[in-house]
Amino acid sequence: MQEMDTVLSTWLRERAAEGLYRNRTIRQSPQGIDVIVDGRPVVNFCSNDYLGLANHPEVIESLKAGAERYGVGSGSAHLVCGHSDAHHALEEELAAWTGRDRALLFSTGYMANISVISALVGRGDWVLEDRVNHASLLDGGLLSGARFRRYPHVDAAALERSLRQCGGRRTLVVSDGVFSMDGDLAPLPELAGVARSTGAWLVIDDAHGFGVLGENGGGTVEHYRLTQKDVPVLVGTLGKAIGTFGAFVAGSHALIEFLIQRARPYVYTTALPPAIAEATRTSLGLLRNDSWRRLKLNRLIQRFRAGAAGLGLALMDSCTPIQPVIVGDVRQATERSARLLERGFLVSAIRPPTVPAGSARLRITLSVLHDDEHIDRLLVALSETACGPIA
């Protein structure tokens, strides 16, 4: 047998030759707009901290107070002795905010998605997923052991045709609320209608909708004014617009009790630090009550789109802070991102397999911490780095 390191090094070299090698930058500052990465100051256009809450003074204060009160580690899983009153209060507030019976905290969104899908379906059942769903949803579907099918992106009619062929057992329909690499919305009213008429159960992961969409920041579901009946399983994450860490599932009393019994990643993982739950409660209060954040963000999104359209950039159908510019070729995308970095802008190049082959892109994300001037400067830099031959 070959040495492990020899095999892995060969793979890594091939990866680099295809332009698909992934590297990390090292950030020396808090999350925000003016950040220091790899020792240099840059303007950040790739964070998911859409509302600027990750470094908000009140959120930091609550984290400190939470640590004073509860210490740092939660000590065990929720079902042993890790479930604190901070966690419990946050679950109740998340249930109220989403207009659902109950909410259940998870340590990450990835785990929440794997948990929900593999607890609800198994061998002999069906899972149907949007083709460009987040990796954690696709992985959850594969891990569940259920028969797995993808339907064309946001195509409720194709989903319905596919559902009519899935005879027999339980069927789960699973979709992002806001697609994480495209920024567009799932057609939730249509998906809910198809699920209802075929008896399938609908799971929506609104990692990028919460905090940003809807009058109270309730996400895609609030945006479309849908209820727990329409979308019985709602997943949200806390590390993006909410600015902290963790995730939750919201739904009926029966769903939450079932997950507590059956979701293995829930049962066998240490609970989040309670101080994180305290910080999240403060963050939720800020984003619910201060609608100026959503208003400002929408204004910035409009400004960016109008400017980008003027430059003839290939935008996607997105009304959210995720505003990808499609480049296509992997090397062009990487080169463009490097050139933007030289001009002081941090914009990530997203390549396959995260996005379909041939659709490499710059994933630009906007934050309420940006000002008009940041947007205008980015647009100038985008036009100056536009394709052309690579230097």
# residues near ligand PLP by CB under 6 A: 14
**Catalytic residue selected from 87, 134, 223, 240:** 240
- The verdict on 237 binding ligand PLP (CB under 6 A) reads yes
Of 74, 144, 175, 180, the catalytic one is 180
Minimum CB–partner distance for residue 134 and ligand PLP (Å)? 3
- x/- map, 282-321, ligand PLP, by CB under 6 A: ----------------------------------------
x/- mask, ligand PLP, residues 71-100, rule CB under 6 A, reads: ------------------------------
Phi, psi of 262 (to 5 degrees): -110, -15
Residue 208 among the catalytic residues: yes
CB atoms within 10 A of CB 203: 27
d(CA 324, CA 154): 17
296 an active-site residue? no
Reading the block at residue 164, the tokens are 């009519």
Shortest distance, position 293 Cβ to ligand PLP, whole Å: 20
Report the half-sphere exposure of 77 (CA within 13 A, side-chain side).
Answer: 11
282 touches 54 (CB < 8 A): no
Please tell me whether residue 211 binds ligand PLP under the rule CB under 6 A: no
Residues 244-263 that bind ligand PLP (CB under 6 A): 247
Position among 98, 171, 180, 337 found at the interface with ligand PLP (CB under 6 A): 180
Strand partners, 328: 360
Interaction pattern, residues 131-150, with ligand PLP; x per rule: CB under 6 A:
---x-x--------------
- Region from 39-47, 80-88, 102-110, 286-294 binding ligand PLP, contact rule CB under 6 A: 102-110
Return the number of the residue (162 or 320) whose C-beta is nearest ligand PLP. Answer: 320
What is the contact mask toward ligand PLP in residues 323 to 342, using x (rule: CB under 6 A)?
Answer: --------------------
Catalytic hit among 78, 134, 208, 223: 208
Query: Which has the closest alpha carbon to 110: 283, 263, 242?
Result: 263
Q: Are 281 and 89 in contact (CB under 8 A)?
A: yes
Give the residue, chosen from 45, 50, 97, 110, that forms a contact with ligand PLP under the rule CB under 6 A. Answer: 110
Contact residue for ligand PLP among 218, 236, 239, 243 (CB under 6 A): 239
49 in contact with ligand PLP (CB under 6 A)? no
Strand order of the β-sheet with 171-176 is: 102-106, 247-251, 233-237, 201-205, 171-176, 126-130, 147-151
Smallest distance, ligand PLP to C-beta of residue 17, A: 29
**Planar angle of CA 62, 65, 68, nearest 5 degrees:** 150
Give, in degrees to the nearest 5, the angle at Cα 337 between 181 and 53.
55
Q: Which two tokens stand for residue 337?
A: 């991102």
Contacts of 17 (CB under 8 A, 6+ apart): none
| Residues 286, 230, 354: CA angle, nearest 5 degrees | 70
By beta-carbon proximity to ligand PLP, the closer residue of 205 and 278 is: 205
The CB-nearest residue to ligand PLP is 109
Active site residues: 180, 208, 240
Binding site for ligand PLP (CB under 6 A): 108-110, 113, 134, 136, 176, 180, 205, 207-208, 237, 239, 247
